[in-house]
Amino acid sequence: MTTRPKPFSHYLLIIVIFLLFNITHALADELDLQALIDEALQNNHDILMSEAGVSASKFRVSQEESLPDPMVMFGYQNDGVRDLYTFGDEMGADSQWMFSVSQMFPFPGKLPLKGRMASSNAESRKAALDSMRLKLAARVKELYYELFLTYKKIDLIHDMSALFSRIEDAALARYSSGMALQQEVLMAQTEKYMLLEKEEMLKQKIQSLEAMLNATLGRSVSSPLGRTSELSRTEYNYDPDELIKVSFENSPEIKAGEKMIAEAETRVEMAKKEYYPDFTVNASYFAKGPDFPDMWSLTTSINIPLFYRTKQRHAVHEAGALLSGTVHERDATKFMLSSGIRDNYSMLTAAERLMDLYKNGLVPKTYQDFESALAGYSTGKVEALTVITRLKSLVDFEILYWVQFVEREKAIARLEALTTVGARSSRPFN
């Protein structure tokens, strides 16, 4: 019995399914940067802790605006000490049950000031949380870019290993024909083994970076991570002076500083209010025996700021000093933002110039030099050491190009965290 050959379309379908499976598997293993940022913002423990602090501070506002708890008192007063209970007896004229309620009322204006302080503190914490989110997003990006660079170095090592194999093949051909010493073959092979050593070191670095990235994401440090996807150059066309201006308007750190100043200013007002007394109203009822009428009383007590010279006045000075320190802290934040923006912008522009130098100058010229030297070595006009030196220079320039590529992307990530320009990392928090 003969078996009919399967049609060509059958094999084509199998090939397509196989390719789709492998492509899907590869895409599933790729790390998506924005997905990692979103995961970090949702699961990072520092962020969660800060969010809990913001939630707690919001509940503080109504507490500060509320009156102190009223005090309830009840008791019994006995007439004489010889009998333990004389209430209602003829000899217990002054025996009575006592009930009272007292409420302290702060001087008008104090409670709203306390509420304003608590509200400013909550808003300051919220702004600090926004700043933490931006910094976390930048941290995820930097780790992602470092991981990308490490994988790229491994790829370059594989590419350069093939070029070293060409040198080894040329050395073997010359050695077999008696035109070269065995030392030249060993030299080429040694360089290949050194590349393998570098590859192993880079694999160890990948494990370290993955552990740090997992910790930042709020995962177990041993959670598996895929390979980073290929990156394209991020467009970033902004003027540093414009970035500084925008950062002063939008930076969460500046907003946090402004809210802290508002809280400190309210604290000064509150300290001045402490010169004024608070009032405590007390209502009492005295239940006497059946032969005597009951009594009631209504009293008010007022605290007297008698020691204002050493207490309230110094509290005002203390609050004023804290306000001054908060203003200077906000101004220092502005200086740090300006410095950080200019520093990272200079890194970005320097990386761009170096990338252009490597890509359009050193790498193609060095590759041409290597090919020329390899051709010369095959004919005996160039020494093996010269060819190896040219190839090692080519490897170095290729790696340096990608180092500057990553440095540029990291500088942009830090600029986004400092200025909020281009940042897409914040998620709403209520």
pLDDT for position 315: 94
Tell me what the mean pLDDT of segment 331-358 comes to: 95
Question: 227 Cβ partners below 8 Å, 6+ apart?
Answer: 29, 30, 31, 151
pLDDT for position 373: 78
Answer for the pair 369, 268: CB distance below 8 angstroms, yes or no: no
Question: 74 Cβ partners below 8 Å, 6+ apart?
Answer: 97, 98, 99, 100
pLDDT above 60 (res 409): yes
pLDDT above 80 (res 377): no
Determine, yes or no, domain membership for 313.
yes
Determine, yes or no, domain membership for 174.
yes
Tell me what the mean pLDDT of segment 82-111 comes to: 86
pLDDT in tens, 274-326: 999 999 999 999 998 777 888 999 999 999 999 999 999 999 999 999 999 99
pLDDT band per the 50, 70, 90 thresholds, residue 175: low
Determine, yes or no, domain membership for 355.
yes
pLDDT for position 428: 43
Lowest mean pLDDT among 97-101, 122-126, 221-225, 369-373: 369-373
pLDDT for position 94: 80
- More reliable by pLDDT, 321 or 197: 321
pLDDT in tens, 40-61: 999 999 999 999 999 999 999 9
> 56: domain range?
31-71+108-279+308-419
Lowest mean pLDDT among 104-113, 250-259, 390-399: 390-399
Tell me what the mean pLDDT of segment 101-111 comes to: 95
**Sheet containing strand 96-105, strands side by side:** 71-77, 96-105, 279-288, 295-302
Determine, yes or no, domain membership for 100.
no
Determine, yes or no, domain membership for 232.
yes
pLDDT in tens, 123-153: 999 999 999 999 999 999 999 999 999 999 9
pLDDT above 60 (res 430): no
Express the helix, strand and coil content of the chain in percent, nearest 5 each.
Answer: 70, 10, 25
pLDDT band per the 50, 70, 90 thresholds, residue 25: very low
The tokens for 36 are 């990692």
Tell me what the mean pLDDT of segment 91-119 comes to: 91
Query: What 8-state DSSP symbol labels residue 83?
Result: S
Q: Give how many domains the chain has, as a whole number.
A: 1
> Which DSSP string corresponds to 280-344?
EEEEEEEEE-TTS--EEEEEEEE---TTTTTTHHHHHHHHHHHHHHHHHHHHHHHHHHHHHHHHH
Please state the length of the chain.
Answer: 430
Tell me what the mean pLDDT of segment 336-365 comes to: 94
Determine, yes or no, domain membership for 427.
no
pLDDT above 90 (res 183): no
The tokens for 121 are 């503190």
Annotate 305-315 with b (16+ C-beta within 10 A) or e (fewer).
eeeeeeebbeb
Average pLDDT, the chain: 85
Lowest mean pLDDT among 72-76, 157-161, 164-168, 371-375: 164-168
Q: What is the pTM of this model?
A: 0.79
Answer for the pair 423, 130: CB distance below 8 angstroms, yes or no: no
By three-state DSSP, how is residue 105 classified?
Answer: strand
pLDDT band per the 50, 70, 90 thresholds, residue 17: very low
Determine, yes or no, domain membership for 212.
yes
Percent of the chain residues topping a pLDDT of 70: 82
pLDDT for position 88: 73
- More reliable by pLDDT, 394 or 374: 394
Question: 33 Cβ partners below 8 Å, 6+ apart?
Answer: 140, 141, 144, 228, 229
Lowest mean pLDDT among 36-50, 169-183, 306-320, 332-346: 169-183
pLDDT band per the 50, 70, 90 thresholds, residue 170: low
Determine, yes or no, domain membership for 9.
no
CATH number at residue 52: 1.20.1600.10
